[in-house]
A and B are shown apart, each in its own frame.
Chain A
Amino acid sequence: MFGWIERKIIAKAQYRHGPTYVGKYGILQNFADLVKLFSKASLDLDNADSILYGTALPILISITIFTVLLLPIFPSLQATNIGFGLLLVFVVIAFMPIMIFLSGFASGNKFADISAQRSILMLLSYEIPLMLVIAAIGLISKGYNLQNIIAMQSNAYYIVLMPIGFFIFFIAMLAEIERPPFDLMEADSELIAGWITDMSPAYYALVLFLDYSKVFMSSLLISILFLGGWLGPAPIPGVVWLIIKAIIIAVIAVIIRATTFRMRIDRILRMGWLILIPLSLINLIITYILFVG
């Protein structure tokens, strides 16, 4: 579903129509793609470490789905509501680049190798600011319980309380889920497809699925942490509010994707260490002074 929205928006930006054929307004196009990909022959790679290569991607997908389960969609709709929910989410998310690294490294392709190295470099640049922003959120809401975080936003959303934090979090999240301009790992004009260069069609279908579920996951997370989750004026149910917010975030990410150029890896590192980390420290200090001190 999100894949369809993304395709349509990008098509609009490029004066195209986008998918029109499968289903009403081409809404089933992505499913058709999946069916096609699953029906193709799979490859046996000579150079690949088959166990590692075969398991890294499924683990990656389960991580993403697991993260979605940890998020509260509605007060009564959450798999587990534990005190350190937010921390757990980020512990799990931090595994994703490592899994990408393993998958790329195990595939035995040189392009995938370079891409794997890049994923670790990326990890170095955005994980720290991400964590610092989360620390600030924890300071305001006096804990890392996700339900509690949403409840604390009933007066003012965190995007109002710490706009810098939202800005940093959004950028770091874009990098985390490999959206342009940070899509260095599958940089198609440089590395062919990076860590998915040698993927079999069925695996590639999983990557497509992973791509969309990552966007879904991260936009849910952003709307929960900064836009007040299910909170909203009464007549519309909270779930709908949450989805509307998530879609707005996702659409912004898509528009960014359609218009920017790709950044270079050393520039991303520089941006991460020289801009994002100082900014997020400032954000942490301001939050401490305003809400705790």
Chain B
Amino acid sequence: MSITRINIGPIHPSTHGVMRLVADIDGDTIERIEPHIGFLHRGVEKLTETRMYMQNPPYMEKLDYLAPMSYDEAYVAAVEQAMGIEVKERAMYIRVILLELQRIASHLFFIGTIGNDLGQMFTLFMWAYMDRDKVLDLLQEATGSRMFYVNMRLGGLISDLPPDFEERALNTLDYIEKRVREYELFIEKNPVFKERMKNIGILTPEKAIDLGVTGPVLRASGVQYDVRKNLPYYVYDKLHFETKILTRGDNFSRYKVRLLEMRESIRLIKTAFKTMPTGDAIGMPVKLRSPPTKNKISIVSREAPKGEVMMYLVADDQKPYRLSIRSPNFINLTAITHLAKGLRMADLFATLGTLDLVMGCVDR
């Protein structure tokens, strides 16, 4: 059969944002694929150079709109490091709790979209979305906003947790834990799902490292790499959790590793509540003119839900001189060129779905 070249996107139900894939297909098999990105490129890195330090977190949050706080926090941590500000201990715990809630919300969204990518008529999506809403409600209670929180301040947070937050959070987490079990049953008892996911889009550990992917995609390939464990920040080394590793590296393990991670996050939050100290968690007010920090360089690595976020900040007096963001989605996307070879048309989108991309973060 001859080779057909088709354009998938920029507007397509399964590209998870504005992305264009140029695919050469032979019948139903993908011969070659090339992602075209940049539709959402808005020069965030340049934009930060024109703003005061604490004017930037809102921009950071728009990178990955499914897990905004992870990026916000990484940026604020980079600024803190450059200025030599210590984070209060209670604030560290609260940040960890909120970041893990963010991770749960992001992974729930993934569970929903993977159903769509496999041609399920939005049922799974609506279920997961509903549960994600419950997590967002918690975050709203803690920060005052559902989507874009901007609750990080230098040295702490904008506010402490509300008084009954712990109880409510634990209730919601119990509920989420029950639901995660339900998803597991609903998905894994389904023969079509297993057939569509197992042994498809296999990424070997060597290739995964070579391609530079991070986060759940890397861990599903059997590489023990989690910034929370490898280069622990905040109080992650004091809290009890495991990094879940699966060895097969196929679509199914990429889904499964996220499901297991949600369970770990729930456990982690519960232990964090138990060991959380009392005290002050409020950070410095935004209006504060930041101390002069000329030419200090700070490097901060964080484990965001999608992978490793790294902020490389060259500080100037009042503004960042240069802020370089390592976006996990940007490099995870390159894996698709490798994975797509020889896949079926239908499996391409399942594979793309398991990479769990957010185009706002890819393009920056």
Contacts and interface: CB of A to CB of B under 8 A. Distances in A.
Interface of A: 10, 13-16, 110-111, 113-114, 117-118, 180-181, 183-184, 187-192, 257-267
15 contacts: A13-B123, A15-B126, A16-B126, A114-B4, A114-B6, A183-B119, A190-B345, A257-B121, A258-B121, A258-B123, A261-B196, A262-B118, A263-B196, A265-B346, A267-B195
Nearest to B193: A261
Interface string B305-338: 0000000000000000000000000000000000
Interface string B19-48: 000000101100000000000000000000
Interface of B: 4, 6, 12-14, 25, 27-28, 115-123, 126-127, 130, 190, 192-193, 195-196, 344-349
Contacts of A15: 126-127, 130
Nearest to B347: A264
> What is the predominant secondary structure among interface residues of chain A facing chain B?
helix
A118 B349 CA distance: 17
A111 B346 CA distance: 12
B13 A10 contact: no
B122 A190 contact: no
A117 B347 CA distance: 17
Given A14-B127, A15-B127, A261 B120 contact: yes
B343 to A, nearest CB: 11
Rank and list the top 5 A-B pairs by shortest CB-CB distance, nearest first.
A262-B119, A14-B126, A261-B118, A189-B14, A261-B192
- Residue with the highest number of chain A CB atoms closer than 10 Å, among B115, B346, B347: B346
A188 B130 contact: no
B119 A261 contact: yes
Contacts of B348: 190
Contact of A262 (B13, B120, B130): B120
A127 B256 CA distance: 37
Contact of B349 (A16, A189, A267): A189
Contacts of B115: 261
B130 A10 contact: no
A114 B127 contact: no
Contacts of A188: 13, 119
Nearest to A187: B119
Nearest to B115: A261
Nearest to A109: B6
Contacts of A114: 4, 6, 25, 28, 345
